[in-house]
Chain A
């Protein structure tokens, strides 16, 4: 069984990015990047399915040159092949163009299963998997927490979240797109040295401008336009309490007693 996973290289979630003077973008210089966390779960699940059914796992990223680091991590986790669609102009941030490139890769490789994380930490849109499926004319299921591929390999039984503790079981025909929810499986520990060693693995590289992507997808400016970025407003309601642990405890409990909750 051949599984394709899409991995996005996103600014690290550990720091707050700086906003440019123009306020319409974040400052990318000097920013650290990582693999989108939900996409790590997608890779982990793909590797699990490979253990169960044999076959291969290919990870794909669409982004500028630095995005190859996402594929190094994927190799360190144990994937078989990697594809980097180099997009220096839009840097993987033009949804329409990225979908066009992703679809071209899928058509070329013809996988049985296509995984993507449920949402990207940078844009928080949750759009990619569903839009890709629509472009390819394939069925898609989102927020997947369990996958069991039937022996003949043409149907998968999946469980997806509905919220509030509810889930549902569905059957979906292969090939299909599944967007993977956090926690579908425990993430393996990937030592830094294995990521460093993975830098020598061969990545199939292609220029986004050279790919068969419909002209209207190339021309489409983003239909979701950022007018201004800002840091979230405080609301001014959070009273910060500092001091030594004992002092903090004393002050905080005093406030909570005053609030009538202790």
Chain B
């Protein structure tokens, strides 16, 4: 591979995040077209289905390491495979999705190669061959345009809502051998599947989610009441899971569920990157927060800067009134 080539690390199979692949393809295609270079995908795992074939419609080559041993993410084996591919292909740019595996593997590769990573990138831009990355800082309150001085450039990309590239090509699919890592100090034991006790919120049309702003456990009743009035489900962001109020099946975000609701109401949620990753594709987003600079307002369609303790009861009453055909409460 010459300069200007890009390697994207895609995911497939249980415990991996296929939904990040479209974003990686779009960025990889844009980069390769901009530099006249090649786009190579790497896929590692087990029971990968037709993902490799699908990726080969957009990439020059899809390298596949498929093994039962890789059914459970093996960070050291995966690092070895990525490292070997980078050594062989010598790409200018290596892209990962901003997923748990992507975040882990990108940092391992960067540390091994002694280079920097631009993580959590919102976008990358190519201007006359020079690449810059846009990424959040300070909990998303500030946006940074950054460049990487080291090579290869390594970045993790936020994802969601990307269309497949316009032009297709007939790329090759190449099986690559998997070998266990020499370093045996980290040993995968087992995968733990998500617990699904209640409603699958990912399938709900209407979601009302509470965040840290809810305050105490009893106050979550405001979320339940609004959800009931709207005919939707009640969910939450990470802090409420961390406080032990709910299991991860109620969580919206990278660690929990990705929802693409018709209506998403974020109550007392500031809008951490990992939360927004899980709801930003919803068609109508309402945000209620006392902080006018909360990052959540950037993805919302309607925003209310106010105390949810005042707004939510009023909203619940108004929704109930309108739905029952009673006069509005105004």
Residues of chain A having any CB pair with chain B under 8 Å: 11, 13-17, 19, 26, 95, 121-127, 130-131, 133-135, 139-143, 157, 159-173, 176, 182-183, 186, 221-235, 237-242, 245-250, 252-257, 259-262
Q: Which residue of A lies closest to B72 (CB)?
A: A168
Q: Which residue of B lies closest to A187 (CB)?
A: B242
Q: List 9 A-B contacts (CB under 8 A).
A: A130-B107, A139-B186, A162-B101, A165-B248, A165-B249, A229-B144, A247-B330, A259-B284, A261-B262
Q: Are B315 and A253 in contact (CB under 8 A)?
A: yes
Please measure, in the bound complex, the distance between the C-alpha atom of A135 and the C-alpha atom of B248, giving whole angstroms. Answer: 34
In the complex formed, the residue of A with least CB distance to B192 is: A167
- Please name all residues of chain A whose beta carbon is closer than 8 Å to the beta carbon of B286 when the two chains form the complex: 252, 256
CB atoms of B100 and A246 under 8 A apart: no
Question: How close is B94's CB to chain A, nearest CB, in angstroms?
Answer: 14
Question: Is B27 engaged at the interface, CB distance under 8 Å to the other chain?
Answer: no
Given contact pairs A166-B194, A232-B142, enumerate 11 new A-B contacts (beta carbons under 8 Å): A15-B293, A123-B137, A164-B257, A166-B192, A168-B189, A171-B187, A229-B142, A233-B143, A238-B287, A250-B330, A256-B286
The answer, yes or no, to whether B66 is at the interface (CB within 8 Å) is no
Residues in B neighbouring A237, C-beta threshold 8 A: 300-301
B254 near A163 with CB under 8 A, answer yes
Q: Are B138 and A121 within 8 A (Cβ)? A: yes
Q: Which residues of B contact A239 (CB under 8 A)?
A: 301-303
The 9 closest A-B pairs by CB, nearest first: A165-B194, A183-B242, A134-B111, A223-B116, A250-B330, A249-B314, A249-B318, A245-B314, A261-B263
**B188 on interface, CB distance cutoff 8 Å:** yes
Interface residues of A: mostly helix, strand, loop or mixed?
mixed
Which of B138, B145, B303, B310 has a CB less than 8 Å from the CB of A16? B138
Give every chain A residue within 8 A of B190 (Cβ-Cβ): 168-169
Considering the complex, give the chain B residue whose CB is closest to the CB of A128.
B107
Q: Scan residues 189-211 of chain B and give those whose CB is less than 8 A from a CB of chain A.
A: 189-196, 206
- Residues of chain B within 8 A (CB-CB) of A141 are 75, 186
Tell me whether A168 and B238 are in contact (CB under 8 A): no
Residues from chain B with Cβ under 8 Å of A16 in the complex: 138, 141-142, 293
Cα(A63)–Cα(B108), bound, Å: 24
Q: Is there contact, CB below 8 Å, between B138 and A13?
A: yes
Report which of B16, B186, B293, B317 forms a contact with A249, defined as CB distance below 8 A.
B317
